[in-house]
Amino acid sequence: MGRFTRRGLMTSAAGVAAGVSLFSIGRTGRAAPSSKSVIRSVPIGNLKVVDPIWTTAYITRNHGYMVWDTLFSLDEKNQPQPQMVDTWEISSDKLTYTFSLRPGLKWHDGGKVTSADCVASIRRWAARDGMGQALMSFTASLDTVDERTFKLVLKQPIGFVIEALAKIDSNVPFMMPERLAKTDPNTQITEVIGSGPFRFAAKEWVPGSKVVYEKFEDYVPRKEPASQAAGGKVVYVNRVESVYMPDAGVAMAALASGEIDLHESPATDLLKMVEGNPDVVITPNDPHGYVLFMVLNHLHPPFDKKEVREALLWGTKQEEYLATMAGDKKRYETCAAMFGCGLPNESKAGTEPLLNPNIEKAKAMIKAAGAEGAKVVLMDPTDNDLHKAALIGAQTLRRLGFNVEVQAMDWSTLVQRRASKAPPAQGGWNTFITNATSTGIANPLVNNFAKNCEQAWYGWPCDQRVVDLGRQWALETDPKKQHELIDKLQAVHLESVTYVPLGMYRPAIIYRKELSGIIRGPALFYWNIQKKA
């Protein structure tokens, strides 16, 4: 299937009027009846990278939840629950964790899931993920015991072993067959074989157009009710067809007409196209919302200078970004917390510049740093709702006196290009704007975007104080002292300007009322969803 275009939308509208479904017309030109066994959805972007360990991109994370399973998962109260694990034990000295897998787990190619698969998968995940790296830094050994049992031995007691294995946001510790998990962590896997509730239909994948997932008939759900990413992953449909539509208006029209069942990331300014439609539901999917932030490249001018990065804090008006992204004031709030707004680790430390912007002060700081008129390459994902935030970012930077070059690209291209450390003039970049679930940044271990130095995310910030304070926080067991460390960490992050926090908002998903059982969470989960005929 090719991409939709505005001309295609006109054709689609004519087809709908004639009672013919755009998606059901085959090469013969004959229409097939619609089926309650297929969900057709618009994803958050174009799937180009299929390896959820290699990248933190949410489109790949969402793909990962379809195909792979996890040892533990977070329920709707964000409490870890066993998933692939059947039973586990912790030794009296709290150094040895022994895990046994549920019987009957199978890979999509028919092979049996073993403890060796899980050990290799944990090691590969831990090489890429900040929380995984922290776990491995305290790990003395990780070995198999028998076909279904493996053991993790610590150097000293820590309190986040299960929380690490239950990590719900990128990078999620998905379990893969040993042969795939032994792929170099810095090299993408090319074969998609999991043990999760859906199989990836590789022969039907049309990059830039459609991704198909089929129900895995041999998947055995847990007996507990589904609860966020935990519990029984019961699949009620035969297929999920994820149809990439870069034209936001076309996607909204397809949902309104019933050609699409669900839209994972609708354009806020186009919601009026379906508001009042009795067959459509508009709702925030993640109850904790998303944080928006500007990523800065610390390796190259002008943001290699701390004074220039600090000026951005004073020159940023969060509400300009948030109003553009969310529209209704009830769906956003200004907030400079590095570890989530309204969550247990929210802090006010160091937030004065962002909450009290001063444009003239910012311009003076930039001039004093010798960066007035400096060239800034801003990457703009035109097929993603973040495109609107990128335009505000360009406007903000120009207002502060920078010479801004906006380079348009699709989100998947941005995801690949952001890994480049090359100078901006040689295919690199200076800045882009992205988001993260609040759950995904809720503490120093899960917040990959705030990592520094050896563990740093794209932008490559490095302030050793962040590394040292983060390690102290991980080892501290006193809640009061932990929060004191959060305040110190946030103050250092904002002093060094790891990135520019832009506030919190709650984006909507939209779906047809034929669907029920949609689970609220940081990702769109397709198990538990039923579709009426």
Please report the domains of the chain, with CATH numbers, ordered by start residue.
6-66+190-286+508-531 (3.40.190.10), 69-181 (3.90.76.10), 290-505 (3.10.105.10)
**Which residue matches tokens 């804090």?**
313
> What pLDDT shows up at residue 35?
67
Name the β-bridge partners of 292.
435
Task: Identify the CA nearest to 37 among candidates 190, 156, 165, 212.
Answer: 212
> What pLDDT shows up at residue 28?
33
**Residue 146 phi, psi dihedral angles, 5° rounding:** -150, -170
pLDDT digits (tens, 9 = 90+) for 509-531: 999 999 999 999 999 999 999 99
What are the residues whose beta carbons fall under 8 Å from the beta carbon of 496, sequence distance 6 or more? 306, 309, 452, 461, 463, 465, 466
Whether 214 and 197 have beta carbons less than 8 Å apart is answered as no
Per-residue pLDDT of the chain (533 residues), as tens digits, is 333 333 333 333 333 333 334 443 333 333 343 467 999 999 999 999 999 999 999 999 999 999 999 999 999 999 999 999 999 999 999 999 999 999 999 999 999 999 999 999 999 999 999 999 999 999 999 999 999 999 999 999 999 999 999 999 999 999 999 999 999 999 999 999 999 999 999 999 999 999 999 999 999 999 999 999 999 999 999 999 999 999 999 999 999 999 999 999 999 889 999 999 999 999 988 888 999 999 999 999 999 999 999 999 999 999 999 999 998 898 999 999 999 999 999 999 999 999 999 999 999 999 999 999 999 999 999 998 899 999 999 999 999 999 999 999 999 999 999 999 999 999 999 999 999 999 999 999 999 999 999 999 999 999 999 999 999 999 898 999 999 999 999 999 999 999 999 999 999 999 999 999 999 999 999 999 999 97
Q: E strand or H helix at 212, and its extent?
A: strand 210-215
**Residue 19 phi, psi dihedral angles, 5° rounding:** 85, 20
> What pLDDT shows up at residue 1?
34
Whether 519 and 27 have beta carbons less than 8 Å apart is answered as no
CA triple 355-369-297, angle to 5 deg: 70
- Dist. CA 466–CA 309, nearest whole Å: 17
CB hemisphere CA count around 159 (13 angstroms): 10
Whether 50 and 188 have beta carbons less than 8 Å apart is answered as yes
Neighbouring CB atoms inside 10 A of 134's CB total 22
> What pLDDT shows up at residue 2?
37
Alpha helices in 316-463 (DSSP H): 318-326, 352-355, 359-368, 386-399, 411-417
- Dist. CA 226–CA 218, nearest whole Å: 18
Q: What percent of the chain has pLDDT over 70?
A: 93
- Dist. CA 484–CA 160, nearest whole Å: 19
DSSP symbols for 122-151: HHHHHHH-HHHHHHHHTEEEEEEEETTEEE
Q: Using the Cα atoms of residue 198, residue 203, residue 204 and residue 208 in order, give the sign of their dihedral.
A: positive
- Dist. CA 488–CA 71, nearest whole Å: 33
